[in-house]
Structure 1
Amino acid sequence: MWLQLRCGLEPRALAALTVVLVAAAVFAATHFWSARPGSVRAPERVDEAVHVPVAETDADVADARTGGGAGTPEPSPGAPPAAGPGGQVVVDVSGKVRRPGIHRLPTGARVADALRVAGGARPGVNLDNLNRARVLTDGEQIIVGAPPGQAPAGGTAGGGTGGGRGPTAPAGPVSLNTATVDQLDTLPGVGPVLAQHIVDYRAQHGGFRSIDELREVNGIGDRRFADLRPLVRP
C-alpha cells in the first residue's frame, strides 16, 4: 500500500511488479543452490605403471601360432648398393634401346628399371644374357645388344640379336668397308636404318679411309661415335 501510494501505481501494475520480483527471487535462489561448492574425492594412488599393449604384426601372429618366433635370427640386409648424391644412381644405357643416354634412377633400382626408362630394347634383341635383376651401381654403363666380350670397364653388356632370326654378332671389330647391313646392325646403337646410311656413305665416297669418317654419316653423333669406335675398323 505504501508503494502504491508513494509511486501512484495502479493495482494491476503493482501485481505485475510483484510477480516479476518473486520470479527473480526464485531464479536467484536456484542459481546459488546449483553453484554451491561440493566435496571432491581425491584420486587413487597408482603404484604400478600402466601396461600399454604393443600392436602385433601379421608376422608376430604367425610366429605365435607356429611357435617359431623365439630365437629366429633375422636375415642380414647385405651390403647396400653404391649410391650417388641425393639417393640416386646415374647410369649410362646405350646400345639397342629406344632412348639411349644418361638416366637417373633411385638407389636400389635394377637393370630392368634402367631398360624401362630407356624405352626398352629394340625389337629382335635377345636379353637372355643380361641380368635384369641386378642392382645398379652409380656410374656404370649398360650396353644392350653389344657383341660378346665388348663390355667396357665398369659396364655391363648383354643381349644379342635373339631367336636365331637376326645376324650373328661378330667376334672382332667390324670392317666399315666390307660389312653388310646385317653385320653393321649388330653394333650397339646401330639399327637397320643407320646401317644402311653407313653402306650408302661407303658407296658414295669410295669406302672409309679412317674410323673418324664415321662421324660424317647421317645419324652418328659424338656419343654414338665414341661407342662405336672400339668396335669397328676401316
Structure 2
Amino acid sequence: MPVWLRLRCGVERRNVVALGLVLVVAAVFAAQHFWSGRTQSVPPPEVVGAAGQGGEAEPSPAPGTPPGTPSGTSPGPDAGTSVSGTGGVVVDVGGKVHDPGVRRLPAGSRVADALRAAGGVRAGVRTDGLNRARLLVDGEQLVVGAPAPAGVGSGPGGGAPGPVPSGPGTAGSGGSTGAEAGSTGAVAGSTGTGTGPVGLNTATVEQLDTLPGVGPVLARHIIDYRTEHGGFRSVDELREVNGIGEKRFADLQNLVRP
C-alpha cells in the first residue's frame, strides 16, 4: 500500500492483511454454502428382478411379451389348451347321447364330464348301469342307452309283460313298437329274453340291447368277440369284452348265459 494512502487513512499494513484474510475466508464460506445448497438431479432407481428360490433373480420378460406371461413361455393360440399326452384322456362316448363320438377331456375327468361333452343323455334314457362319479380311463369306450328292463313296459295296465307275441311290430320285452322292436319280438322265443337269461352265443344286437347298461355299440362288441373266439364258453368271458368292467359285469352276470 502506498505511503500516502496509509498516512491518509491511518491504517497500518498488518490491519490491511488481516482484513484481506477475513474477506478471503468469507468468500470461501459463501461459495461453499452456495454449492451445497444447489439443487442436484437424482438418478432413477435401478430396477432389479425379484429374487426367486435359491437366490437367483428371475429373467426379465422378452420384448413384446404381454404382462402376466410367465418367463420362458411364449404366448400362442395353442398355449395351455392341449390335453393330449399325459395331460388328458381320450374316450369314445356312444349310444343314446345327443352328440356321440370321440372326446378329449382333461385328466381326472369323470363319466359325468364325458356325458356332458357328448351333449348329454337323450330324454327318457335310463342310466342305471352308469356310475357317473367313476374316473375315466384313457382309451375306454362309454356306451349309454340301456332301455327299461323287462316288466316296465307300456302295455295295458303297465304291469309285467305277458307272453311274447310273434306278430311284427310288437316287442316282447319292453313294450316298444316299430320295426326294431318287432324283430326283437320275433326272435325272443329262441333265446329266452322273455322267460330267462339271454344266450350270449345266439342273441342278436337287438336282444343284447335290451340288457341293462348295454347299448347298440356294446352289443356289437359282444357279437364281435363271439365271432373272433368261436363263442362264449362261460359268462365270465364277458369281462374280456371291450367296454365291460366289473360294475357292468355284476349287473349282467345273472341275466345272461353262454
**TM-score, normalised with respect to structure 2:** 0.32
